[in-house]
Amino acid sequence: MVVQQHRSGGGARAVCALAAMGVMAAAAGCSGGGGDRAAADDRAGPGAVEAVRQAAAVLTGVDAGGASPARVTGRPGGKDGAEGTPAHAGAAAGAGTKADTGTKADAGTRAGAGTKAGAGTTAKVNTSMETAAGGTRVTIRGRGTYDFRSRSGRLKVVLPQDAVGKEEHLPITELLAPGALYMMNRGAGVPKDKWVRIDTTSLADGNLVTGGATDPMAAAELLLGARAVTYLGESDLAGVTVRHYRGTTDIGRAARQVPAASRGALTAAAKGFRTDTVPFDAYLDEQGRLRKVRHRFSFANEGPAVEVVSTTLLYGFGVPVSVKIPAGRDIYTGEIRQGQQP
C-alpha cells in the first residue's frame, strides 16, 4: 500500500486529535490497517481514471479533463436515496491550539445560498474514521447532510468509549463551510453553548482528518487528481449496484484543478504532507455518481507511521440542507486543553 507521511510530528499529533476529549488518552501510540484486497481485472487505464474524475467533477463543479460536469439530481429515499452501511475509517485534530474567532466571508451564510453554476447536488452523508492506538482500534462515526453547491454541511460526530472504557463522550456537532470548521462540544474548557472555529486553510492536513470526518467536498475534490486507477468490478451497496475503482490520487494535482477561491484546504494539505500520493477506493453507481470513497492517509512521527482510513458515504441525493453559521459572539476565543473531556 502506498502511504503518505506528514512532514512534521505535529501531523501525527493531529491524527490523535480527539485525544483532547480523552478518546485516546490511555493509548501509548498510533497505528492502523488498510482496506480489502479484491482481485483486479484488466479494465484499468484511461477509462477508469476518467470515470473517477468525472464523478468528482459532478459534485465539485470542476471541469475534469474537458467534459462539463452534469448536475446530479435524485429523489431522497427509494433505491436512489438508499442508505448504505457506513464504512469504517480513524481520528482527528486541533488539540492544544487557540480557537480561531474569524468569521469573515462565512459569517451568517447558509448552506444552499450562493449556488454555484454547474456544481453538484445535496446528499445525506455517513462518515467514519478509523485508527488504532496502543492495540485498540478506534472508530469515530458521523452522520448528517451536505450541500456541494455551497460547500457547506452539518455533521454529528459520535466518539467511542475511550481506551480505558470510560463513559461515551458527548457527540460533536460540526458545521462545514468554505475555509472553516465549526465544532460544538469540542474540548475541555470550552463552554457548552460555544463553538470552536478552525481555519481549515491553516491546518497541515487541510481538514482531511482534523475534524474526525473528512469534509465531503474535500473527499470528492481529492479524486480530481486520480491516477493509476483499476476497475475491480460491480458490487452491492445497500441495494444499489456500484462499480468499484481503486487507485491513487495526487493532492497537489487535485488542488490545481479546483478554483483558486476554494483550493485553500487542499493546497495546505499538499504542502503539509511529505508525499502527495493518497490511495483510495471509489464506488460509483450506474449513473456515474460517487456513492462511497475511502482514503488512506499515513503520518510520520517518532515511531511507526500512523495510518488513518477515512470513509465518506453519500446517499439520499436532493435532500434539503440548511446550515446557519454561528455569529462571532457564539465562538469561543480561548485555549483548548488536551486530554480532558468537556
The residue whose grid cell reads 490523535 is 16
Domain boundaries, the chain: 9-35+48-323
CA distance 65 to 59: 15
Grade residue 220 by pLDDT with cuts at 50, 70 and 90. very high
CA distance 40 to 105: 46
Grade residue 25 by pLDDT with cuts at 50, 70 and 90. very low
Strands 180-184, 226-237: pairing kind: unpaired
Residue 260 pLDDT: 81
The DSSP secondary structure of 144-185, one letter per residue, reads: EEEETTTTEEEEEEEPPP-TT--PPPPPEEEEEETTEEEEES
Residue 15 pLDDT: 41
State the pTM of this model: 0.74
Phi, psi of 122 (to 5 degrees): -105, 165
pLDDT for residue 208 is more than 50 = yes
pLDDT for residue 32 is more than 50 = no
Q: At 317, list the grid cell.
A: 441525493
